């Protein structure tokens, strides 16, 4: 039986999660399971649950950058410390290019995509 991989999406705005759900479902259908969290803390709970089942089943984590509590880049680094093979994508609507450049340069395993994003750009990041 083929195991289905998981894509975990994290954003404190439900409309963004709904958009991600729509785009991912349209492009990948039932090829993945989709998990959604409205905070970094909730995401870590989901990750820990999935890890306990099978850590190899977490394929990609997509996180907003600016959220209450833990920021998205911090969340993704924490997740990568637990699962070093997982793909990580940071979504941001933040316009301060200096801060974003710092994130990109200091955390090379995190890919960054800007809001509003092009669906094809997101799908390409997941596929590559």
pLDDT value at residue 93: 85
| CA gap 113, 110 in Å, rounded | 10
The low-confidence residues of the chain, meaning pLDDT below 70, are 1, 95-101, 103-108
pLDDT in the model for residue 109: 82
Write down the pLDDT at residue 112.
Answer: 87
User: Topology of domain 5-127, per CATH?
Assistant: Rossmann fold (3.40.50)
User: Exposed, middle or buried: residue 106 (CB in 10 Å: 0-12, 13-18, 19+)?
Assistant: exposed
Predicted confidence at residue 100, as pLDDT, reads 67
pTM of the entire predicted model? 0.92
> Which parts of 11-81 are beta strand (E)?
32-37, 58-64
**CA–CA distance, 123 with 128 (Å, rounded to integer):** 9
């Amino acid at each position: 039986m083929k195991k289905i991989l998981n894509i975990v999406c994290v954003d404190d705005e439900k409309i963004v999660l709904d958009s991600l759900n729509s785009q991912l479902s349209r492009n990948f259908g039932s090829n993945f399971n989709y998990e959604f969290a409205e905070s970094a803390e909730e995401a870590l709970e989901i990750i820990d649950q999935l890890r306990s089942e099978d850590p190899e089943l977490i394929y990609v984590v997509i996180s907003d950058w600016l959220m209450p509590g833990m920021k998205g880049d911090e969340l993704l680094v924490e997740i990568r410390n637990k699962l070093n093979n997982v793909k990580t994508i940071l979504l941001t609507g933040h316009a301060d290019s200096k801060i974003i450049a710092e994130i990109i340069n200091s955390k090379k395993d995190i890919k960054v995509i800007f809001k509003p994003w092009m669906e094809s750009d997101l799908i390409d990041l997941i596929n590559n």
